[in-house]
Amino acid sequence: ATPTALLAATGRGARLGILVSGAPALERLRKVDTVVLDKTGTLTTGRMNVTAVTVSADADADADARAGAGGHARVGAAEALRLAAAVEQGSEHPLARAIVAHARRQADGHPLPRPVRFAAVPGSGVSALVDGEEVAVTRPGELGGIPDDLREAVRTAETAGHTAVLVRVGGAPRAVISVGDTLRPDAYRAVEHLRRLGLRPVLATGDREATARAIAGQLGITEIHAEALPEDKAALVTTLQGHGSRVAVVGDGVNDAAALAAADLGIAMGGGTDVAIGAADVTLVREDIQALPDAVRLARHTLATIR
């Protein structure tokens, strides 16, 4: 490959909003046959909105009992939202941003409490002490252990393609916050285009099966890996490679970094976290997923010309 031709390709890529780390990355991009796509922030805009806050009647009864012992008199929807948002102030996750923004709007200028001992588990959730109470906001996990009304709220959210997170206060499940996301306007076309280029699209998400299905269904993606923790996404890449596939991963989050590094080619969304961009070989600067098939075409064309 002549340096001039590669430089030209890199320049053309840059104009298309595709930043390639170098010639080896272009070469690997040309050979990719499978594309593992993250959901939140990659196929969807990651600009999320709180669509519902459901508190459990059971939790209220329990809280009333504890009130006598100096606990909260009641965990109403506003209080559940306030506690959850206090914790989420420490997270960069799109879910966290939605919950904090929603709580601020509801709080009428009242500042959110400061969390202490904040901890985040990528792909799982966050926790902290708020007003002396242990508050955790996480994926719902096994639905068997939560009250009926919260389980119902989770199902309703997921059927709509929304994400439901569970709020625990003092370890007890108190509320479900439903957060809606929107597909990127060009996602359908981009996935269709990838298929026409002979690439096999695979959806990998930390989100739950029902939510993943609702989103994948809108894109015609049939291969889904849901409830994937960061290490599961990386293991999926290794498994696909073990079956002889050349795998590109497209992601935006801290939770995608391991998979991006394991892939034959890591592709980060430009608006993604620094960790994702640092782990990737290619960055899609403009926030459009259509840049991905464009990048594949560019790589194939460039290297065909050079040879």
DSSP state of 114: P
- When asked if residue 13 is in the footprint of ligand ADP (CB under 6 A), the reply is no
Q: Which parts of 210-249 interact with ligand ADP (CB under 6 A)?
A: none
DSSP lists the bridge partners of residue 38 as 204
- When asked if residue 124 is in the footprint of ligand ADP (CB under 6 A), the reply is yes
- When asked if residue 273 is in the footprint of ligand ADP (CB under 6 A), the reply is no
Q: Which of 33, 38, 62, 64 is catalytic?
A: 38
DSSP 115-145: PEEEEEETTTEEEEEETTEEEEEE----GGG
DSSP lists the bridge partners of residue 20 as 282
From 55, 96, 167, 289, residue interacting with ligand ADP (rule: CB under 6 A)? 96
**Nearer Cβ to ligand ADP (51/91):** 91
- When asked if residue 30 is in the footprint of ligand ADP (CB under 6 A), the reply is no
From 106, 138, 218, 241, residue interacting with ligand ADP (rule: CB under 6 A)? 138
- When asked if residue 95 is in the footprint of ligand ADP (CB under 6 A), the reply is yes
Q: Can you tell me the distance from the alpha carbon of 60 to that of 62, in angstroms, rounded to the nearest whole number?
A: 5
Q: Can you tell me the distance from the alpha carbon of 294 to that of 282, in angstroms, rounded to the nearest whole number?
A: 12
Query: Which helix (H) or strand (E) covers residue 173, if one does?
Result: strand 172-180
Whose CB is nearest to ligand ADP? 206
Q: How far is the CB of 217 from Mg ion (least distance, A)?
A: 19
**Nearer Cβ to Mg ion (18/259):** 259
From 113, 115, 161, 206, residue interacting with ligand ADP (rule: CB under 6 A)? 206
Q: How far is CA 82 from the centre of its chain?
A: 23
262 binds, among Mg ion, ligand ADP, none (CB under 5 to 8 A by kind): none
**Nearer Cβ to Mg ion (10/91):** 91
Q: Residue 126 in contact with residue 120, Cβ under 8 Å?
A: yes
Q: Can you tell me the distance from the alpha carbon of 193 to that of 288, in angstroms, rounded to the nearest whole number?
A: 13
Q: How far is the CB of 174 from ligand ADP (least distance, A)?
A: 14
- When asked if residue 98 is in the footprint of ligand ADP (CB under 6 A), the reply is no
DSSP 261-291: HHSSEEEEETTS-HHHHHH-SEEE-SS-TTH
Residue 35: exposed, middle, or buried by beta-carbon count in 10 A (0-12, 13-18, 19+)?
Answer: buried
- When asked if residue 127 is in the footprint of ligand ADP (CB under 6 A), the reply is no
Whether 288 is catalytic is no
- List residues with catalytic annotation: 38
> Which residues in this chain contact ligand ADP in the complex, by CB under 6 A?
38-41, 88, 91, 93, 95-96, 123-126, 137-139, 163, 165, 205-207, 253, 255
